[in-house]
Amino acid sequence: MREAIFIAANVTEAQAVERLLEGELIEFEITPEAFLQQPESNVCMQGLLFEVPPGQAEYCRQFLTERGLSPGVVPSGKP
């Protein structure tokens, strides 16, 4: 079982998250995922969803937020 922590909207974001997680030796999976461009819009886009073991999810969210990637961080409890 995995928990969603980040959705990358573009290749640059995906590569940055991948490098950061690998640097922390975090095991992760990446899957394609649809997301709204902005919460109040109806524009659906395709992104890459990063998932980690549940025990590492909160650490990863905090870690990515501290590195300036907060817009893509998936809040706890979200699919």
**Spans of all domains in the chain:** 3-72
Contact assessment for residue 37 and residue 45, using Cβ atoms and an 8 Å cutoff? yes
Contact assessment for residue 1 and residue 54, using Cβ atoms and an 8 Å cutoff? yes
pLDDT at 68: 97
Q: How far is CA 7 from CA 39, 46, in A?
A: 14, 9
| Domain 3-72 classification at class level | alpha beta
In one-letter notation, the amino acid at residue 57 is A
pLDDT at 44: 62
pLDDT in tens, 17-64: 999 999 999 999 999 887 665 556 666 667 899 999 999 999 999 999
pLDDT at 4: 93
